[in-house]
Amino acid sequence: MSDLPRKAVTRTAKLAALPLGFAGRATWGLGKRIGGKSAEIVARELQQRTADQLFKVLGELKGGAMKFGQAMSVFESALPEEIAGPYRAALTKLQDAAPPMPTRTVHAVLAERLGEEWRELFLSFEDKPSAAASIGQVHRAVWHDGREVAVKVQYPGAGEALLSDLTQLSRFARLLGPLIPGMDIKPLIAELRDRVSEELDYELEGQAQREHAAEFADDPDVLVPDVVHQCDQVLVTEWIDGIPLAEVIADGTDEQRDRAGQLLARFLFSGPARTGLLHADPHPGNFRLLPEDDGEGWRLGVLDFGTVDRLPGGLPSTIGECLRMTLAGEAEGVYELLCLEGFVKEAIELDPEAVLEYLVPIIEPAELEEFTFTRSWMRTQAARIADIRSPAHQLGKQLNLPPSYLLIHRVTLSTIGVLCQLNATVRLRDELESWLPGFLLEDEEDVTAIEAQA
């Protein structure tokens, strides 16, 4: 019944073949060099072949393999341009599409979960999926009351596949490390594993989406489609049209890029403050750019609330306080706060000034009134941290990431990666001042609140 390869041994074999493929292509490249091709041409062909194999396998398998691919795709901006070029098209494919499961499988799931007369719930139902992702695919339909809806159907066997894939991927995470300079792949895979049960639970997803839809119901900038019906393995939500963010990244105007970037930053920081939830899957496939009702300007449509971080008090004030003190050059205060929160382990002693120098380039976008996020800026930061000869690399290895900050850290990095793909000019400081606890001192917060009301 499942469209996912049923046998664990089949999936494992496909994933296990990836490292062998990498080694085989290296040998192929050497042969081409001996045959007279230039190193540059061979390297480019090698990168393209690697991208094709890696993301073809990840996309075909769906499950945890594709989830990992989607998580990696938002960091494409960090890759050196000579590597990013051949990878970009393959990465983008993973953000918004995957091979669909057979129609008979979709119908079987709907019959099992909605009842044999499931078609009576819809005025129409499109068998061809409009989108497919790591654990489910989406079909466009019209609900029995006339509303256009998106019907999300979970792949049978998705849970088993997710766990199996991520376990296998973790075994050769070291080989994938060079794809994203400065990033340790293994913790990313471990964190994805920890979220498996939540992703599979459509009741939790439906609840998170309802809360966002209610909070943003009258918001002029952000639209979250409401939940129409939810049951095990099936989630029905209101349909929204719009331009997928992947298309804006590829072909958008400067106006669309900047607006999408500003709204993405606004949603990232305002969501936890307004709902106590952090949308934790910010890859471009989960966002749409929608024209406003009057045709002037754009809104951001937000999809897929399968992974959220529950933050009842909003984002931790420590983040805002640390940012504020770093911008003010308060090295001792920053260091003390990092020690208090567990970013610096008790057994380690670091130079506060060195820690400040490590942080300042990373938070440059918060220092200026507006900042243009670019791939070159992202690559510079990644290279600075990845270069084993640099002080930044050595210091970064000594810092610790407390478990409670792990998902926040990944979401923030992912969002910055998307902003760099958009090449968006964003007034990030405005969003930090409005939504990030601790970023402003109390008297400054009062002034900002008065100005907002005015």
* Series of mean pLDDT values for 10-residue runs along the chain (454 residues): 46 54 41 45 53 58 59 61 57 55 92 96 96 83 98 85 71 59 66 75 95 96 97 96 94 97 97 96 92 86 93 95 97 96 91 95 94 92 81 86 86 92 97 96 54 49
Distant-in-sequence, close-in-space partners of 123: CB < 8 Å, separation ≥ 6: 142, 143, 144, 146
Give a yes or no: residue 262 inside a domain: yes
**DSSP track, 346-361:** TT----HHHHHHHHTT
Residue 342: per-residue pLDDT: 93
Give a yes or no: residue 368 inside a domain: yes
Give a yes or no: residue 409 inside a domain: yes
**Number of C-beta neighbours around residue 268 at 10 A:** 24
Distance CA 225, CA 259 (A): 20
Give a yes or no: residue 131 inside a domain: no
Q: Residue 125 pairs with which residues in a beta bridge?
A: 141
Residue 88: per-residue pLDDT: 57
Supply angle C-alpha 356, 376, 170, rounded to 5. 80
Residue 42: per-residue pLDDT: 46
Give a yes or no: residue 64 inside a domain: no
Residue 38: per-residue pLDDT: 47
The residue segments making up the domain with residue 352 are 243-454
State the first-to-last Cα distance of the chain, in angstroms, to the nearest integer: 59
How are the residues of the chain apportioned to helix, strand and coil, as percentages rounded to the nearest 5? 60, 10, 30
Distance CA 417, CA 411 (A): 10
Give a yes or no: residue 41 inside a domain: no
Residue 30: per-residue pLDDT: 40
Three-state DSSP state, 66: helix
Give a yes or no: residue 349 inside a domain: yes
Query: Is the pTM of the predicted complex or chain greater than 0.75?
Result: yes
Q: Which of 141, 131, 64 is nearest to 98 (CA)?
A: 131
Tell me how many domains the chain contains. 1
Q: Residue 238 pairs with which residues in a beta bridge?
A: 149
Residue 450: per-residue pLDDT: 43
Give a yes or no: residue 144 inside a domain: no
Residue 369: per-residue pLDDT: 95
Q: Which of 454, 290, 278, 427 is nearest to 365 (CA)?
A: 427
Residue 81: per-residue pLDDT: 60
